[in-house]
Structure 1
């Protein structure tokens, strides 16, 4: 679990995926409005056509000022594109939770449509 006492230290950190693939730099961190723990990172991905994408921090680890997540670089790169300027509304969050739990935004087999998204359900606050 990532530290919630110093969210700003996560912003700017390098995000690594499975097989130690460098995914990108963390541009923003969204925190749970109820207890302040980090729930989502906004990461800039791509080399030529750069875009921002959300990555869940539920199972992320922090080591040597880097953050690692249990997702491949390709999976993060192909996540649903959601405007990162205003945080996440519950519908957008559910779409991302489905994507990261199944690997595809359209393949929802095995996903419980009534399940709440991790411990991060509810309104999110943005930290930069």
Structure 2
């Protein structure tokens, strides 16, 4: 997995699916608050007049020259839960992000959020 500092340096680089199809540009990284490891990224998707930030897991992601390859198909990412380009992910929406990718979701022991933006 990537160091949080390293993956943030890729902001603005292309994000591609396993087949090499461009999904969008890397906007931000969300870490698992329990481990402080990068866990999700947001990717800028949509038309220029209707941009949004779609969530994609970083599990299985690899880097290449000028791009970040994620382990999920372009359509899956484009249909994932998203926020406005200037928005924030509400804690109540976190379970839907995990469910879209069939990942287990459990808040912290004290009910704290699972994802933190870096």
> CA offset at residue 18 of structure 1?
2.4
TM-score relative to the length of structure 1: 0.69
Structure 1's 86 and 51: CA in aligned 2 closer, same or farther, altered over 3 A?
closer
Cα separation, 2, equivalents of 1:50 and 1:86: 14
> Of 79, 97, 105, which aligns to 1:116?
105
Q: Does 1:125 align with 2:116?
A: yes
Structural mapping, 1:1-128, within 5 Å: 1-48=1-48, 49-83=50-84, 85-89=87-91, 91-101=92-102, 115-116=104-105, 122-127=113-118
Structure 2: 5+ residue stretches without partners? 107-111
SS where residue 26 of structure 2 aligns? Answer: strand
Number of residue pairs matched by the alignment: 111
Following superposition, the deviation at residue 27 of structure 1 comes to 0.9
Which structure shows the bigger proportion of residues in strand conformation? 2
Moved more, 18-27 or 77-86: 77-86
Deviates more, 1:28-37 or 1:50-59: 28-37
Stretches of structure 1 that go unaligned for 5 or more consecutive residues are 102-110
